[in-house]
């Protein structure tokens, strides 16, 4: 588990298996909060933070609690429970000790509680049979991928809002079309990272 | 059977651990809110305009409740009523609040000035300004694309003949338009000031006349005729001192380009006898 391997996982999660644009998880905030760049980046930073925390908690639960007792089928419900409680706890701690960070992340934290990208990354870490270090790298990369997709799409939306779209394309249709083109262009990264690392 | 019980128990235990943790955390780390804060916040209008100098109404209310700021008169949209209410809640003495309104320092509408180009870009002053300083012949005047109209929370601004016009009754003096104008043509001034030099072009004489018939040419005539000495020249633009100005209208009548003008048409004093006679003879003809 050298640095090169971790870098491979991170870059793979950002570009090749981008959670929003290739796995189609977390589409709700992708369309909902991407109207303004500052909101999009605030939300994404909160997602990176929660993804890392959630992985740090759910990986030990899976490997030391669920698997030894043959309760792997409880994975989804336990993960949802733990992530929801964790986000609440983080919110309380932030409000008390780092009010400035709470103000910038605060409104997005409850939204992330039920974000399927967060649940998705924790579950996929288990199914991919990653070690703890690899899981953390994958979570960080996935969060960065979410950040990248949000920031790119916020920029695209700023342009589509101002353009003269045909009447029937105004609003959501042009947004979804733009998202589809962005997702299609990201599939061009498939194979690039593998070739880069000779894996 | 055993499996079901184990599953139920383990999920219940995890849930219990989580909930106990949350209960303890919320009790230990509860943030105590100042009891004064909601009462103070209630008095403020909630426009979040930032005219008080704080980041929104919450920021101002927090400062007042904590006692770090004792000035109850900072809220421009709330005005005197708001200051009175705040003083009542906090047990402080309310000061006098002077109403402030936005003024457009440009009279160059489409009948007085001309466009240099046919601008077809984005409908925004900031965008128009980027393109060689705007479409108008005068690079210092109102761009007329309505960035101020867009930010005004009270819909007090309209664009009339290519120049922004402020409705002084609707204006709350928040100053959002002042900050949005790329040419700094709009300024917030006390309501009591009634006479203005409606021009922002700092050039002199011919340079102004070439681009706008309503521009201030910096002739200093107004500062010489003012009986109160209320007008001073700031480079080539006239500045009116609102505490000295009696709104007698001498400067308005003397201004060769009519850029010295009253804030509202109704503010002009009754015309002098000689003028009335002139008007009569004009009417008779």
Whether the predicted pLDDT of A127 surpasses 70: yes
B125 is in an annotated binding site: no
Name chain B contacts of A69, Cβ cutoff 8 Å. Answer: 6, 10
Q: What is the mean pLDDT of chain B?
A: 82
In this complex, is the C-beta atom of B22 within 8 Å of any C-beta atom belonging to chain A?
yes
**Could you tell me which residues come within 8 angstroms of residue A183 by beta carbon, excluding any fewer than 6 positions away?**
A21, A22, A24
> Would B262 be classed as within a structural domain?
yes
CA distance B186 to chain A (A): 26
Per-residue pLDDT at A59: 93
- What is residue B104's DSSP assignment? E
Contact A71 B6 (CB under 8 A): yes
Per-residue pLDDT at A105: 67
Name chain B contacts of A95, Cβ cutoff 8 Å. Answer: 29, 31
> Would B257 be classed as within a structural domain?
yes
- Rounded (5°) CA angle B218-B224-B225: 115
Q: Which of B148, B167, B191 is the last residue of a domain?
A: B191
Same domain? For B185 and B216 the reply is no
Nearest CA in chain B to A69: B6
Tokens of A52: 């890392």
Contact B25 A93 (CB under 8 A): yes
Per-residue pLDDT at B109: 82
pLDDT in tens, B88-108: 877 776 666 677 888 899 888
CA distance B50 to A73: 54
pLDDT tier at B86, thresholds 50, 70, 90: confident
pLDDT tier at A106, thresholds 50, 70, 90: low
CA distance A110 to A88: 8
pLDDT in tens, B10-63: 889 989 999 998 899 888 877 776 777 888 888 888 777 777 778 778 888 888
Same domain? For B140 and B167 the reply is yes
Whether the predicted pLDDT of B227 surpasses 50: yes
Per-residue pLDDT at B282: 59
Q: Which of B191, B218, B244 is the last residue of a domain?
A: B191
Neighbours of A134 (CB within 10 A): 18
Average pLDDT over residues A70-99: 85
| Sign, Cα dihedral of A114, A120, A121, A126 | positive
Name chain B contacts of A100, Cβ cutoff 8 Å. Answer: none
Q: Pick from B3, B14, B29: which is nearest to A93 by CB?
A: B29
Sorted by where each begins, the domain ranges of chain A are 19-186
In this complex, is the C-beta atom of A107 within 8 Å of any C-beta atom belonging to chain B?
no
Question: What is this structure's pTM?
Answer: 0.55
Query: CATH number for the domain including B129?
Result: 3.30.70.20
The SS3 of residue B70 is coil
Q: What is the ipTM of this complex?
A: 0.72
Contact B11 A77 (CB under 8 A): yes
Selected residue with higher pLDDT from A114 and A177? A177
In this complex, is the C-beta atom of A170 within 8 Å of any C-beta atom belonging to chain B?
no
In this complex, is the C-beta atom of A95 within 8 Å of any C-beta atom belonging to chain B?
yes
> Would B228 be classed as within a structural domain?
yes
Same domain? For B250 and B226 the reply is yes
Question: Within 13 Å, how many C-alpha atoms sit on residue A143's CB side?
Answer: 24
Per-residue pLDDT at A148: 93
Same domain? For B130 and B170 the reply is yes
CA distance A120 to A108: 18
> Would B95 be classed as within a structural domain?
no
Indicate the range of B9-23, B38-52, B150-164, B178-192 predicted with least confidence.
B38-52
If one counts the domains in chain B, the total is 3
pLDDT tier at B274, thresholds 50, 70, 90: very low
B52 is in an annotated binding site: yes
Query: Which residues constitute the domain of residue B64?
Result: 37-90
Per-residue pLDDT at B273: 47
Contact A81 B29 (CB under 8 A): no
Per-residue pLDDT at A181: 93
Same domain? For B212 and B239 the reply is yes
Q: Pick from A65, A71, A81: which is nearest to B7 by CB?
A: A71
Same domain? For B86 and B165 the reply is no
In this complex, is the C-beta atom of B6 within 8 Å of any C-beta atom belonging to chain A?
yes
């Amino acid at each position: 588990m050298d640095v090169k391997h971790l870098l491979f996982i991170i870059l793979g999660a950002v570009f090749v298996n981008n959670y929003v644009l290739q796995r189609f998880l977390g589409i709700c905030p992708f369309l909902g909060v991407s109207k303004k760049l500052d909101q999009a980046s605030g939300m994404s930073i909160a997602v990176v933070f929660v993804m890392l925390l959630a992985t740090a908690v759910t990986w030990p639960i899976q490997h030391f609690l669920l698997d030894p007792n043959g309760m792997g089928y409880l994975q989804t419900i336990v993960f949802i429970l733990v992530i929801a409680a964790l986000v609440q706890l983080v919110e309380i701690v932030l409000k008390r000790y780092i009010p400035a960070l709470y103000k910038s992340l605060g409104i997005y934290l409850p939204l992330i509680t039920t974000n399927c990208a967060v649940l998705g990354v924790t579950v996929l870490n288990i199914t991919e049979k990653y070690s703890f270090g690899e899981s953390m790298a994958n979570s960080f990369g996935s969060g960065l991928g979410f950040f990248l997709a949000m920031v790119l799409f916020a920029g695209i939306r700023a342009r589509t809002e101002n353009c003269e779209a045909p009447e029937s394309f105004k609003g959501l249709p042009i947004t979804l079309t733009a998202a589809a083109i962005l997702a299609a262009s990201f599939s061009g990264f498939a194979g690039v990272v593998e070739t880069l690392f000779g894996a | 059977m055993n499996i079901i019980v184990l599953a139920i128990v383990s999920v219940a235990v995890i849930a219990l651990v989580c909930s106990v943790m949350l209960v303890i955390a919320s009790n230990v780390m509860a943030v105590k809110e100042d009891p004064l804060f909601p009462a103070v916040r209630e008095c403020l209008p909630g426009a979040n305009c930032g005219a008080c100098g704080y980041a929104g109404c919450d920021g101002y209310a927090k400062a007042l409740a904590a006692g770090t700021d004792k000035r109850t008169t900072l809220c421009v949209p709330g005005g005197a009523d708001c200051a009175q209410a705040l003083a009542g809640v906090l047990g402080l003495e309310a000061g006098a609040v002077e109403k402030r309104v936005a003024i457009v320092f440009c009279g160059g509408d489409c009948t007085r000035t001309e466009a240099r180009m046919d601008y077809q870009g984005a409908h925004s002053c900031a965008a128009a300004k980027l393109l060689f300083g705007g479409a108008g012949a005068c690079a210092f005047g109102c761009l007329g694309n309505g960035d101020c109209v867009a930010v005004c929370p009270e819909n007090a601004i309209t664009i009339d003949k290519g120049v922004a016009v402020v409705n002084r009754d609707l204006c709350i003096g928040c100053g959002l338009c002042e900050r949005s104008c790329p040419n700094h043509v709009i300024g917030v001034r006390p309501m009591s000031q009634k006479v203005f030099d409606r021009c922002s072009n700092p050039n002199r004489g011919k340079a102004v006349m070439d681009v706008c018939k309503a521009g201030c040419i910096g002739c200093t005539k107004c500062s010489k005729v003012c009986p109160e000495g209320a007008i001073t020249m700031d480079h080539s633009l006239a500045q009116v001192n609102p505490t000295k100005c009696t709104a007698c209208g001498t400067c308005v009548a003397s201004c060769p380009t009519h850029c010295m003008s009253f804030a509202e048409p109704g503010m002009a004093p009754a015309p002098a006898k000689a003028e009335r006679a002139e008007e009569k003879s004009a009417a008779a003809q």
